[in-house]
Amino acid sequence: MARYGELRERVFEANLALVRAGLVVLTFGNVSGVDRDEGVLAIKPSGVAYDELGPESMVVVDLETGETVAGDGRPSSDTPTHRVLYRRFAEVGGIVHTHSAAATAWAQAGRELPCLGTTHADHFRGAVPVTRALTTDEIYGDYEERTGDVIVETFAERRLDPRETPAVLVVSHGPFAWGAGLDDAVENAIALETVAAIAIDTVALRADVAALDGALHQRHFSRKHGPGAYYGQPR
């Protein structure tokens, strides 16, 4: 059996789930999963068509050094961004990057995605933030690693908890979403695109719509998260 076979199998399946959910056009987008005991992540290879992928195409990369430790292909060019997020966001088990249409429109507009309703509050505490633009030096340096850094900086400056706000909009680029596991990461990416699309129509209907009332936001968020959660089945 291939090395890291189970991790690669799960990452492969998560990449397919992204396609089935309609979040991916061409080869835009990639999913990774982490094995913290082994200190590695597995990720989609760069620029390969989804119908040519199998579990064994997933590339396994060392979290610290970035070296490929299993797999024949070149890992996604966004791998350094994933590595930064895994190293700095300790609780993250899976990361999804897409150019999904509605979330990307907010990112391109340079607007954070405000929480306008309970669909959003069920998944994200408060607005999904948008990063600052990278400087020219950052762009011409280790661009993908700096993209990870600016995400971490955004969460630090706004005192956001990546477990509670498991997504970000990279300005002029697109969304990253994550979760404790791969399934959560994929679900959050789908939820993000869904609420981003509804929010576009909401602001078209009321340009000055206010963010959700704090009490309602807290109530909905805590239906799904934390000790008093009562959404879903007992585990």
Closest CB to its own copies among residues 87, 172: 172
Task: Look at residues 51, 207, 84 and name the one whose alpha carbon lies nearest to residue 155.
Answer: 84
Going by C-alpha positions, the residue among 87, 127, 233, 106 that lies closest to residue 175 is 106
What residues are paired with 45 via a beta bridge?
Answer: 75
74: contact with its own copies by CB under 8 A: yes
**Which of 6, 20, 65, 140 is close enough to bind its own copies by CB under 8 A?**
140
Pick the catalytic residue from 62, 122, 143, 183.
122
Residues 37-66 within binding reach of its own copies (CB under 8 A): 45-48
Among 51, 90, 159, 206, binds its own copies (CB under 8 A): 206
**Of 90 and 233, which has the nearer Cβ to its own copies?**
233
- 172 binding its own copies? (CB under 8 A): yes
For its own copies, the binding residue among 3, 132, 158, 219 (CB under 8 A) is 219
Query: Residue 19: which residues within 8 A CB-CB, separation 6 or more?
Result: 50
Question: Three-state SS for 68?
Answer: strand
Residue (62 or 172) nearer to its own copies, CB:
172
231 is catalytic: yes
- Structure tokens that stand for 57 in this block: 């195409």
CA dihedral 88, 195, 124, 98 (to 10 degrees): -10
Respond yes or no: is residue 50 known to be catalytic: no
In terms of DSSP H, where are the helices of 123-181?
136-140, 143-157
Describe the strand order of the beta sheet including 94-97 as a list of residue ranges. 68-70, 59-62, 40-43, 30-35, 94-97, 174-179, 167-170
Please tell me whether residue 119 binds its own copies under the rule CB under 8 A: yes
CB of 36 to its own copies, least distance (A): 27
Measured between alpha carbons, how far is 91 from 145 in angstroms, rounded to an integer?
A: 19
| Single residue of 215, 226, 227, 228 touching its own copies by CB under 8 A | 215
Q: Does 182 bind its own copies (CB under 8 A)?
A: no
Q: Give residues 144-163 in contact with its own copies (rule: CB under 8 A).
A: none
Question: Which parts of this chain interact with its own copies (CB under 8 A)?
Answer: 25-26, 28, 45-48, 73-74, 77, 99, 101-102, 104-111, 116-119, 122, 133-134, 136, 139-140, 143, 172-174, 187, 190-191, 194, 197-206, 209, 212-213, 215-216, 219, 223, 230-234
Q: Which residues are catalytically annotated?
A: 122, 231
